[in-house]
């Protein structure tokens, strides 16, 4: 029995008068990697950002329908968005470390959440860096600026920063699209490891990447969820012609 972590029902999202997401219903299981694929502007990043209410920050956004995480509607009036974003972490396309030391980047979230004991912070920081597969590269440089790290290291540091507040879900919006092939493969290996502890949802333009690392794949097109199934099935035997055309490169 697969436990579902995220469940949306008849979700619509408008930017002003523009319909960006049209009637999305999906069940995303716990501790798996779910990939969202589809051409640019098809709604996959918009949907991803709905899962931790990042779209709340944009004027004129209207959301209808239900988005449930652990069977709780995250758009209920009494939901604390700060607590939600602690539970549902986000890693962006462009690594965005703070202009602080490597240590302070990772300690930032726990500090905000009231952890001030140095020994406890040291443990959280080390664990997060280990979980993000970057500890060995940075353990002797903890006081150096995070800005001195390579792009791939900065992205893994941002993943560590997300993990430091102990989320249950990690959303990733094209986390490797700005990286070289070697850094990309490190991020991919890391994502596969992380699903042992976290539910991972990743938006990717790279179909080979989706095929390599995800358990399930959702194909979006023009704001609609066209097909959602096990990744192997989506890539070898999709139900819908649109999915097949996209995957074989006949359009988009």
Give me the pLDDT at residue 1, please: 57
Give me the pLDDT at residue 56, please: 86
As a whole number of angstroms, the distance between CA 134 and CA 130 comes to: 6
252 in Cβ contact with 246 (< 8 Å): yes
Q: What is the DSSP letter of 214?
A: -
Q: What angle do CA 6, 204, 58 make, to 5 degrees?
A: 65
Query: DSSP letters of 154-200?
Result: HHHHHHHHHHTT--SEEEEESTTTTS-HHHHHHHHHHHHHHTTTSEE
Query: DSSP letters of 135-162?
Result: HHHHTT-TTSBGGGS-HHHHHHHHHHHH
Q: Taking Cα atoms as reference points, which of 211, 58, 36, 174 lies closest to residue 158?
A: 174
Q: Taking Cα atoms as reference points, which of 158, 179, 176, 180 lies closest to residue 212?
A: 176
Tell me, rounded to whole angstroms, the distance of Cα 13 from its chain centroid. Answer: 19
**Integer angstrom CA distances of residue 139 from 92, 134, 169:** 24, 8, 26
pTM comes to 0.95
Running along the chain, 252 residues long, what does each successive block of 10 average in pLDDT?
A: 88 95 97 96 95 91 96 95 95 94 97 94 97 96 97 96 97 94 94 96 95 97 97 97 92 58
Phi, psi of 13 (to 5 degrees): -135, 125
Give me the pLDDT at residue 2, please: 67
* Other CB atoms within 10 A of residue 140 CB: 8
β-partners of residue 201 are 34, 171
**Integer angstrom CA distances of residue 3 from 31, 38, 45, 188:** 9, 26, 24, 24
């Amino acid at each position: 029995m697969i436990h579902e972590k995220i469940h949306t029902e008849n979700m619509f999202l408008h930017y002003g008068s523009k319909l960006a997401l049209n009637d999305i219903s999906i069940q995303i299981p716990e501790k798996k990697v779910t990939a969202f694929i589809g051409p640019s502007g098809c709604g996959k990043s918009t949907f991803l950002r709905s899962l931790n209410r990042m779209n709340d920050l944009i004027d004129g956004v209207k959301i209808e329908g239900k988005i449930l995480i652990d069977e709780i509607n995250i758009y209920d009036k009494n939901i604390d968005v700060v607590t939600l974003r602690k539970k549902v972490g986000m890693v962006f396309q462009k690594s965005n470390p703070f202009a602080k030391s490597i240590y302070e980047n990772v300690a930032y979230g726990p500090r905000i959440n009231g952890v001030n004991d140095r020994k406890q912070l040291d443990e959280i920081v080390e664990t997060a860096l280990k979980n993000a597969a970057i500890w060995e590269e940075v353990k002797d440089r903890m006081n150096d600026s995070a800005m001195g790290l390579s792009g791939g290291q900065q992205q893994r540091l941002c993943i560590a920063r997300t993990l430091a507040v102990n989320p249950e879900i990690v959303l990733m919006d094209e986390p490797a699209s700005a990286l070289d092939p070697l850094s990309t493969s490190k991020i991919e290996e890391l994502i596969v490891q992380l699903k042992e502890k976290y539910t991972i949802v990743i938006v990717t333009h790279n179909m080979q990447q989706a095929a390599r690392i995800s358990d399930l794949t959702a194909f979006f097109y023009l704001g609609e969820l066209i097909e959602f199934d096990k990744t192997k099935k989506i890539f070898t035997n999709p139900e819908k012609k649109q999915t097949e055309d996209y995957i074989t490169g006949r359009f988009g």
